[in-house]
Structure 1
Amino acid sequence: MEQSNRKWWILVTVSLAVFMAMLDITIVNVALPEIQKKFSSNFSNLQWVLNGYTLVYAAMLLPVSKLGDIIGLKKVFLLGLSVFVIGSLTSGLASSHLWLNIFRGLQGIGGAAMMSLSLTIVTSSFPDKQRGLALGFWSGAVGLAISGGPLIGGALVDSLGWRSIFLINIPFGILAILLGIFFIQESNRNSNEKIDFFGFLLSTAMIFTMVLALIQKEMHENYSWIDWHILSLLSLSIVFFIAFLVAERKVKNPMIELSIFKNGSFNGANIAAFVLGAGLYGGFTYLAILMQNYMGYSAFETGMKMLLISGFTIILGPMAGIISGKIGNRWLISGALLIGAIGMIVLRHMMKVPFEWSYLIPGFVLAGISNALVNPPISNAAMSSVDPKHVGMASGILNVFRQVGISFGVVILGINLTEGYNHSLDKQMMGVQNIPAEFKNQMLDVFHKTGAFAGSQIFESKQAEVFKQMPAFGDIKNIVFSAFNTGMKDVDLFIAILLLIGSFASAVLIKKRKPSNQTAVIHMDNAASENSNLK
């Protein structure tokens, strides 16, 4: 097959793979109630169905990127796909929550290989002039998977049950493996480079402990940042980070070539990826809670509404790749993040109680445009700012920044929402005149224990039965909803600040790339030419 046609099939293959990898981060949310019923599991065990995948996925992004450079991109990518399919099959057949959590970790290993190496493969397969367009399609698959997870998950759970969200990966995974075997060409291996086992262990431990600390904070709202459960993990992460920096300066073949961080464009792209993950993608969690627990939408209906954000990636994602070639990555990233910040400010201004869908539409549209425009140039800026031999490494680092950003955002935004909710709740309840003080304290105790995320479920609980007899019950419900609105406004403002920081950093750090006459400098391009000569 001609190389011009082959590269588009490569793009289809890797886009399918990254769609599955990212989808499995978000799709499980809507299946948790069914999984809980099946295994009679407590909430802590249930959360590990989500966090087990995320934790292993984040920790393995750097190691698999390096293995791809040493062993070969195609081999490691297909191996990752195979591990992901096996993990999906075993997760779908799991007989207990413990085995499900273990198999989700197996999925995470495969997902990390698919996600990290796919970006390297796309970058390596396309010449400079077409790379932006290709990365636009790749980014569209990522954005669609993240925001489309609730819709797809809701449809599968409602029609086929919770096991289907894992088993659905098997036919598509096998298809991707077959396409990969046929179309992806192996990259040139660096036979002189050896695996940096010490760097491997330190980098994995660093990311593992950092993300685990964030997960602990997310799972235990009552833990402060200086609680030993969190502080010990964060301290360990810092120790591993320092040890990693020292070790990488001394070894001959480091896990990460630290000199790439001297490049301003590479740093700007990573900052943009982090704030996008922390702000926009982290915020999706709480927009879903708003729509399901306070506006009464089902998981499927919530997914349909979220398409207003993700749908833009289908059209604007490829266009963004073309535009970045015209105006440069710098201004497209900066402008797109600015649009996202404006969207969050508009959303903050429009939201009020009682919540209505029409209040969310303008902010969702701007967030969707931002999401669609920003991903392709972030990937392009990061990958084009490093030497070809460091492309795999750059891909792993970029994905780590994005994934750690998502984990950080979910935790920090959750803290902002909870603090805003509790402060507003206490203030408003103290202002209610026709309820005895002891009942106020009882109600506040119930509302604080159930938390900001319970929504309408608070008033369906047994603890709240006594309050329904009170004349002021309608006012109390309005107070709870208003308190959540206050918390969401704090979240929207924080997201806007994050995106503005990213917009400013991108404008300052990312430089216009100097035009290059070399269009075949990447490993796979060399491999392609060698293969064509052999033919």
Structure 2
Amino acid sequence: MKYIALLVTAIAAFLTPFMSSSTNIVLPPIGREFNIDAVTLGWIATAYLLAAGIFSVPFGRIADIKGRKKIFIMGLFIYTVGSFLSGIATSAEFLIASRVIQGIGGAMIFTTAMAILTSIFSKNERGKAIGINTGAVYTGLSLGPFLGGYLAQNFGWRSVFLINVPLGILALSLALWKLKGEWADAKGEKFDFIGSILYSFMLLFIIYGLTELSVPFLVVGLVLLLIFVNYESRVECPVLEIRLFRKNLTFSLSSLAALLNYSATFAVGFVLSFYLQEVRGFNSQDAGIILLSQPVIMAIFAPFAGWLSDIIEPKVVASIGMAITTLSLFIFSNIGIDTPISLIVLNLMLLGFGLALFSSPNTNAIMSSVERKFFGIASATVATMRLLGQILSMAIVMLIFSILIGKVEITPEYYPLLVESARVSFIIFTILCFIGIFASLGRGKIR
């Protein structure tokens, strides 16, 4: 039964990153159809991430109480509906709203998938299972730019969203048919409704404040963060177990390392998609093939890294991966209008190798550092750190775009500013990832 669960969760794990990576490649043609600027296009990517981030922790807690399978199946259904609505969108606003629905479904999927795996597989098999699941994530990332570019080039950008509908139906059918059992290790405990509301609004205000350069929103968000942490430290059954961060060094530093890693790397695809299609003149399909070089290396090496973390202390493998990632981002910080495409491809492969070495061992460290009843929260934390990092990564790029380019359509006269924006983004990403090396090294041992 555990291998059936691994198959079903791997299919689900493929869907959401496939959507994320394929969306980046079709943003330029979406912008041309709806006549919208780069910052608004950024919101098409960010809306999904923001919704997923807001709902991941509450749904992780609900899954612990009510059952992970229930939430997992419901998430597949909502995600599929959101994909269909995105594919028939008639305006940028409609598309952004549909992406929010996708994000809610996505939150329900990835906060439960990892918890289900961790519940089923023993500690000495967990790294391998997580590695296979992570490999499925990176396979989705791999196929996203290539298949997304091919579909957009030959069938229009809407096909990128609509192809998720049959995939979602397939995953939902398999889950209903083959996924037996229910996992609710916190059954009977109360759901922290107030904490969930505080968490959601805190995240919304902080991210909106960052992306729109709104100081009042950012201040309100930070105040809500302080209120949330104080409240969660005192409530009996918190939506997010703050004490895990305070008392469990491995859990807290592994989570911080994940946050920094995703903050430094997620928007790389977004930036390079614009660079390759606008500055270098590639079509969606060819740009997708170039971007494919990063995630395909991740998909190949992630299972190996997960297996390695069952043998070697995860922090060693993850820290090496973080260092390699830092080097790759530093190389990208020197990108120019005439940078050889071969160098970009090789550096993307280096980035993919570093991310593969980091992600599976880091997730293994997080999931293995908590007791069974916190698996749902730990899984939600993994997803939340990933999502927060992705949101912050996009927020950094959108902020730089707003300052250097402004809210304008990308036309040839803005290409030098686009390249400069890419350089500044990669410098900031290099610094974040360099700090992440020390967070990764500082964590405790799980064995």
Instruction: Name the TM-score, length of structure 2 as normaliser.
Output: 0.91
- Flag the 1:484–1:235 CA change in 2: closer, same or farther, 3 A: closer
- Equivalenced residues, count: 445
Q: Which residue of 2 aligns with 1:513?
A: 446
The residue aligned with 2:383 is: 399
Q: CA deviation at 1:345?
A: 3.0
User: Which residue of the partner structure matches residue 523 of structure 1?
Assistant: none
Pick closer, same or farther for the CA change 1:359–1:163 going to 2, 3 Å: closer
CA contact (8 A) 2:205 2:221 kept: yes
Unaligned runs of 5+ in 1: 1-5, 218-229, 423-447, 462-479, 515-535
Pairing partner for 1:458 from 412, 418, 425: 412
For residue 234 of structure 1, report the CA deviation from its aligned partner.
1.3
Partner of residue 383 from structure 1, selected from 367, 375, 385: 367
Q: C-alpha displacement at 1:331, in angstroms?
A: 0.4
User: What are the within-5 Å matches in structure 2 for residues 327-476 of structure 1?
Assistant: 327-348=312-333, 351-413=335-397, 415=399, 454=410, 457-459=411-413
The aligned counterpart of 1:244 is: 228
Question: CA distance change for structure 1 residues 96 and 154 in 2, over 3 Å: closer, same or farther?
Answer: same
What are the Cα deviations for residues 90-130 of structure 1, in whole angstroms up to 9, with x where unaligned? Answer: 33234444433322211111011111111111212211222
Counterpart of 1:18 (choices 4, 13, 17) is 13
Q: Measure how far apart 1:337 and its partner are.
A: 0.5
Aligned counterpart in structure 1 of residue 23 of structure 2, from 28, 37, 40: 28
- With the length of structure 1 as denominator, give the TM-score of the two structures: 0.77
Question: Aligned with 1:255: secondary structure?
Answer: coil
Ranges in structure 2 where 5+ consecutive residues have no aligned partner: none
Q: Note the 1:188-227 alignment, pairs <5 A.
A: 188-217=184-213
Aligned partners of 2:378 and 2:114: how far apart in 1? 10
**Contact in 2 for aligned 1:248/1:256 (Cα 8 Å):** yes
Match of 1:115 in 2: 110
Tell me if the contact between 2:64 and 2:186 (Cα under 8 Å) persists in the aligned partners: yes
Counterpart for residue 102 of structure 1: 97
How far residue 361 of structure 1 moved from its aligned partner, in angstroms, is 3.6
Q: CA deviation at 1:56?
A: 1.2
The structural deviation recorded for 1:180 is 1.3
Question: 2-side partners of 1:96 and 1:488: how far apart?
Answer: 28
Aligned partners of 2:39 and 2:398 also within 8 Å:
no
User: Judging changes above 3 Å, is the alpha-carbon distance between structure 1 residues 408 and 82 closer, same or farther for their aligned structure 2 residues?
Assistant: same
Deviation at 1:39, TM superposition (A): 5.4
Which deviations, in whole Å up to 9, do the C-alpha atoms of 1:154-211 show, x marking residues without a partner? 2122222232222211211111112212332211353320111111111111112222
SS in 1 for 2:19: helix
Look up the SS of the partner of 2:292 in the other structure: helix
Question: Is it true that 1:283 corresponds to 2:283 in the alignment?
Answer: no
Whose relative contact order is higher, 1 or 2, with alpha carbons under 8 Å and at least 6 apart? 2
Distance 2:363 2:38 in 1: 36
Aligned partners of 1:353 and 1:255: how far apart in 2? 48
The one-letter amino acid of 2:446's match is R
SS at match of 1:296: coil
Which of 418, 434, 442 is the matching residue for 1:500? 434
Identity of aligned residues (%): 29
| TM-fit CA distance, 1:341 | 1.3
Structure 2 equivalent of residue 125 of structure 1: 120
Q: Do structure 1's residue 74 and structure 2's residue 77 form an aligned pair?
A: no
Tell me by how many angstroms 1:62 deviates: 0.6
What letter corresponds to residue 235 of structure 2 in structure 1? V
Q: Give the whole-Å Cα distance in 2 for the aligned partners of 1:113 and 1:107.
A: 10
- The one-letter amino acid paired with 1:204 is S
Query: Larger Cα Rg: Structure 1 or Structure 2?
Result: 1
Structure-1 separation of matches of 2:418 and 2:61: 44
Rounded to whole Å, the distance in 1 between the matches of 2:268 and 2:115 is: 28
